[in-house]
Amino acid sequence: MKRLIPVLLLAVAACGAQPADSAPATTLTWAIETQPITLNPQLWAQNKVRLLVFNQFDALLSKAEDGSFRPWLATSWKVSDDKLTYTLDLRDDVTFHDGTKFDAAAVKANLDQFLVPGYNPAVAAIQLKAFDRAEVAAPYQVKITLKEADALFLDFLASPYAGQVSPKALKSAKDLRFGGLDLAGTGPFILDRYVQGQEIHYRRNPAYNWPPAGAAHRGPAHLSEITYRFLPEAAVRIGALSSGQVQVIEGVPATDVALIKKDPNLALQTSLNSGTAYSYYFNTEHAPFDDQRVREAFREAVNVDAVLKSVYQGTATRAWSIVGAKSPFYDATLENGYGGDVAKANALLDAAGWKQRDAEGYRVKAGKRLTVREVASAPFVRDRRDILAQAVQAQVKQNAGIDLQVKIVDQGSAQKALDENEYELFGNSRGDSDAGAALNLILPEKAAINRTRFADPKVDSWLAAASATHDQAEREKLYARVQRAAVVDNAIVFPLYVPADQIAAQKSVQGLGFDPASGTPASAYDVRIGT
Amino acid sequence: MPKLAHVLARSGPKLSHVPVVFLAVLALAVAVPVLLTAADPLAADPLNALAPPNADHWFGTDHLGRDVLARVVHGARHSLSIGLAASLLAVACGTLLGLAAGLSPKWLDEALARSFDVLSTLPELLLALLVVAITGPGTVNVIFAIAIAQIPNYARVIRAQTFVVRHSGYVEQALTFGRSRLAIIAGHVLPNVLGPIPVLATIGLGQAVIASAGLSFLGMGPQPPAAEWGAMLSEARNYLRVAWWEALFPGLAITLTVVCLTVVGRRPQRRFEGRKP
């Protein structure tokens, strides 16, 4: 059977080849963990499906590992001295998959789309908060004016949100919110099949000749077709890889890392993600986490190192701050500042009035059990976070008598619980390529995902100042203050680990790698089969 | 599995006692689990996770360092009580509905009987899944789901029995003597239609245990960290390649329970059918 598979693949590849397509036909099947909740890049929300976005779409800029920006669909850009006007020169040889020409008017249409009320309120309120207007200065030159300086604006232009969608599709797409076959982009692959719960299939864009600076090759993609199969079960993905049903998988559980490393036919790569660490955010608005002592006690009750070792077999990187260790803004002085002191946890809870215990050993105050609820949305559960939650649950129960209830529900139910303030704990990591963008979403009083319901004008002003300046050193200083306020002074967050991505593949698959901006698997543009 | 049950049932008196002994131990695990294990099924010891079976942990530890033996023993309560409650509920409702159908006017009987038939066309587990999909996960919902799925089995048998009894001499005699319908149903019909129920129920219990483990495996039953055999299997499947013991023991518990219930249930069945036990 194993011998038959390459033959079959060749046969399938031969069928898929088009006469106009001069590059050789090769196909690849890649098993991924997470199903996209939308295929529209402008509404993108899951870091785990970032690898799909840049198959179909190109952004205006691309971001390098060192944080600098490189040309993509925009060949150059100028920022005025007052930091309010961005002038972008665009490539003049780009066409969307639906035949529409890419030009300044298209860029304007894409930016203006975010102004449609309710389209993407989070992005409109944060990344595009300063956006005033876009103007067509010349057929291939666009002028963007901001209301106030925003150091994160270039980062936005390099993000999936800046994935350019055909203006025709923006008007006529059957389901704009979900995206799909008629939402044409300019990317190296054309989406031609999406089957919910099963797979997503792309074929090569033969006209493609505009990869970002830094790509390993020019011209069309190496692969003529690529299929991503949705296999949420880790064991199934591993089995599919080792039996040869798929050639690449992402999301390799810690228990299987050693087995893959031992297999001479497989190769494993890992990369830490950018953005924020996976953390529990405490809802500070109501009891019991309105009391800082209870928040600190919760952190002290968990032996994070032991938990990570048991859940991830020592492959996870412990987080100490809300900002991930890969980010240049990470404040390493927060390390070893808290956690794992069970005696302190119990003393804090006693002091906070949770003195009695009930029959099951949980702490009680005024007849009410010390219960906290974590509501998680299933599409965002990755890296065995459900098991991690169970480990934390056992630790806080055994060490401090806290009753942690974990509910993993569908996206709608989770959103409802969050909207109705029916939660005490919220687990989240953000994959933003600039950690500042994530902090802007999480910490300010009116931020879109301020699940701590914490408000401190000082923190808000530091974040605003950091967003306004282009001076990296100044931003670093301000973000350090913000991190200290969140982690130490107010203890509104419990950082757990720095998310990482893994790719395991058969050795014959070359060119796999990670997006330097995010640390998540890169698009399939440079991937090829053979030597 | 029927084959295995067959072998167990036929291979001499000694071996045939094994299922009874196993079920007795199981009953003990349900009633007083602490007699069988001192460990807390929920106590996690992350530094001692995925330890193979050893002197301290006879069945090893799971991915959070919990004692697998303790979880299997304490899990008996969840798994069996769901099966038992679902079976009792199904027997009660099935008997009432079957009796109602058997004694109703023809049109109502037809309507009830056809609806049993329609429900019977769906596999039990599928029907139970459908019910849980509507009601949401949880122990009580799973009990109702399995019970609803099993009701037609009992109702059809009771309906058929009711027909037989209804036209028997003693019922007609009672009618001639002018006794009230209710008294006849309670005094003559009901006691005489219940004969096959213990047999059906014993086998049905085994099926209910499998169904409850299956639903729990899919995350529909008792929620983590509760120890339930199906849920344990589901958690263990990601560790199969590194920790076989985490999946083996709950799996064995489910298999042995169902096999033993089937073997034990066969005996009264044979007796009832007039064959030698």
Tell me the Cα Rg of chain A. 24
- In whole angstroms, give the CA distance from residue A180 to residue A173: 8
pLDDT in tens, A281-326: 999 999 999 999 999 999 999 999 999 998 888 889 999 999 998 8
Q: Look at residue A257 and tell me whether its pLDDT is greater than 60.
A: yes
Burial A432-464 (b: 16+ CB within 10 A, else e): bbbbbbbbbbbbbeebbbbbbbbebeebbebbe
Neighbours of A1 (CB within 10 A): 7
Q: Which of A26-40, A50-64, B36-50, B86-100 has the lowest mean pLDDT?
A: B36-50
Q: Look at residue B68 and tell me whether its pLDDT is greater than 90.
A: yes
The average pLDDT across A398-404 equals 95
Beta bridge partners of A199: A195, A229
**Of A180, A183, A175, which is closest to residue A193 (Cα–Cα)?**
A180
Per domain, the residue ranges of chain A are 2-251+501-529, 278-498
Element holding A74 (H helix, E strand) = strand A74-79
Q: C-alpha B80: how far from its chain's center?
A: 7
Candidate ranges A44-48, A141-145, A448-452, B112-116; pick with highest mean pLDDT = A141-145
Identify residue B24 by its one-letter amino acid code. Answer: A
Q: Residues 6 or more apart from A182 whose CB is under 8 A from it?
A: A98, A169, A172, A173, A174
pLDDT in tens, A233-249: 888 999 999 999 999 99
Q: Which residue has the higher pLDDT, A525 or B1?
A: A525
Task: Note whether A55 contacts B: Cβ–Cβ < 8 A.
Answer: no
pLDDT in tens, A438-461: 999 899 998 888 999 999 999 999
Q: Look at residue A251 and tell me whether its pLDDT is greater than 50.
A: yes
Cα torsion for A364, A366, A368, A374, to the nearest 10°?
-80
Neighbours of B154 (CB within 10 A): 25
**Residue A6 CA: distances (Å) to CA of A1, A239, A243, A358:** 10, 18, 13, 63
Q: Which member of A255, A398, A407 has the closest CB to residue B239?
A: A255
Q: Which residue of A has its CA nearest to B51?
A: A310
Q: What whole-number percentage of chain A has pLDDT above 90?
A: 73
Q: Which site among B61, B62, B242 would you substitute to test the A interface, given the most A Cβ atoms closer than 10 Å to its Cβ? A: B242
**Residue A358 CA: distances (Å) to CA of A25, A355, A362, A367:** 67, 10, 5, 9
User: Residue holding tokens 């991937």?
Assistant: A527
Task: Note whether B42 contacts A: Cβ–Cβ < 8 A.
Answer: yes
Q: Look up residue A114 and give its two tokens.
A: 């975010």
The average pLDDT across B130-156 equals 91
The DSSP secondary structure of B242-254, one letter per residue, reads T-HHHHHHHHHHH
Report chain B's terminal Cα–Cα distance, integer Å. 20
Q: Look at residue A13 and tell me whether its pLDDT is greater than 50.
A: no
Angle at A518 between CA A513 and CA A524, to 5 degrees: 35
- Which residues in chain B touch residue A307, judged by CB atoms under 8 angstroms apart? 46
What is the reported pLDDT for B178? 83
Q: Look at residue A18 and tell me whether its pLDDT is greater than 50.
A: no
Element holding A357 (H helix, E strand) = strand A356-357
Cα torsion for A302, A304, A305, A309, to the nearest 10°?
100
What is the reported pLDDT for A14? 41
Q: Residues 6 or more apart from A265 whose CB is under 8 A from it?
A: A506, A507
Q: Look up residue B229 and give its two tokens.
A: 């055999």
What is the reported pLDDT for B264? 85
Q: Look at residue B273 and tell me whether its pLDDT is greater than 80.
A: no
pLDDT in tens, A449-498: 899 999 999 999 999 999 888 888 999 999 999 999 999 999 999 999 99
Q: Look at residue B102 and tell me whether its pLDDT is greater than 60.
A: yes
Task: Note whether B47 contacts A: Cβ–Cβ < 8 A.
Answer: yes
- Which residues in chain B touch residue A235, judged by CB atoms under 8 angstroms apart? 237-238, 240-241
- Which residues in chain B touch residue A234, judged by CB atoms under 8 angstroms apart? 238
Which CATH number, 3.90.1010.10, 3.10.105.10, 1.10.3370.10, 2.40.50.140, labels domain A278-498?
Answer: 3.10.105.10
Q: Look up residue B254 and give its two tokens.
A: 């489910």
- Which residues in chain A touch residue B234, judged by CB atoms under 8 angstroms apart? none
Q: What whole-number percentage of chain A has pLDDT above 70?
A: 95
* Domain A2-251+501-529 sits in CATH 3.40.190.10: yes
Under the banding of pLDDT at 50, 70 and 90, the label for residue A122 is: confident
Task: Note whether B270 contacts A: Cβ–Cβ < 8 A.
Answer: no
Q: Look at residue B67 and tell me whether its pLDDT is greater than 50.
A: yes
Neighbours of A298 (CB within 10 A): 28
The average pLDDT across A161-181 equals 93
**Of A504, A23, A57, A32, which is closest to residue A223 (Cα–Cα)?**
A23
**Residue A253 CA: distances (Å) to CA of A229, A522, B274:** 17, 19, 57
Q: Which site among A307, A310, A312, A416 would you substitute to test the B interface, given the most B Cβ atoms closer than 10 Å to its Cβ? A: A310
Q: State how far residue B32 is from chain A, nearest Cα, in angstroms.
A: 17
Q: Which residue has the higher pLDDT, B248 or B192?
A: B248
Q: Look up residue A215 and give its two tokens.
A: 């790509």
- In whole angstroms, give the CA distance from residue A458 to residue A445: 11
- In whole angstroms, give the CA distance from residue B84 to residue A49: 44
- Which residues in chain A (172-201) have CB-CB distances under 8 A to chain B? none
Q: Is the ipTM reported for this complex over the cut 0.85?
A: no
CATH class of the structural domain B16-29+61-269: mainly alpha
Backbone phi, then psi, for A109, in 5-degree steps? -60, -40
- Which residues in chain A touch residue B65, judged by CB atoms under 8 angstroms apart? 310
Angle at A453 between CA A452 and CA A459, to 5 degrees: 85
3-class state of residue A134 by DSSP: strand
Inter-residue contact A225 to A16 (CB < 8 Å): yes
- Which residues in chain A (365-394) have CB-CB distances under 8 A to chain B? 384, 386-387, 390-391, 393-394
Q: Look up residue B200 and give its two tokens.
A: 């059906």
Mean of the per-residue pLDDT values of chain A = 90
HEC states along A420-433?
CCCCCEEEECCCCC
**Residue A311 CA: distances (Å) to CA of A389, B48, B275:** 10, 11, 55
Q: Which site among B47, B64, B239 would you substitute to test the A interface, given the most A Cβ atoms closer than 10 Å to its Cβ? A: B64
Q: Which member of A233, A259, A390 has the closest CB to residue B241?
A: A259
The average pLDDT across A423-434 equals 90
Q: Which residue has the higher pLDDT, A353 or A127?
A: A353
Inter-residue contact A370 to A377 (CB < 8 Å): no
Burial A131-160 (b: 16+ CB within 10 A, else e): beebebeeebbbbbebeeebbbbbbbbbbb
Q: Look at residue A12 and tell me whether its pLDDT is greater than 50.
A: no
What is the reported pLDDT for A439? 93
Q: Look up residue A266 and give its two tokens.
A: 């497989």
Element holding A135 (H helix, E strand) = strand A131-138
Inter-residue contact B152 to B116 (CB < 8 Å): yes
Inter-residue contact A194 to A179 (CB < 8 Å): no
Identify residue B153 by its one-letter amino acid code. Answer: N
Q: State how far residue A313 is from chain B, nearest Cα, in angstroms.
A: 9
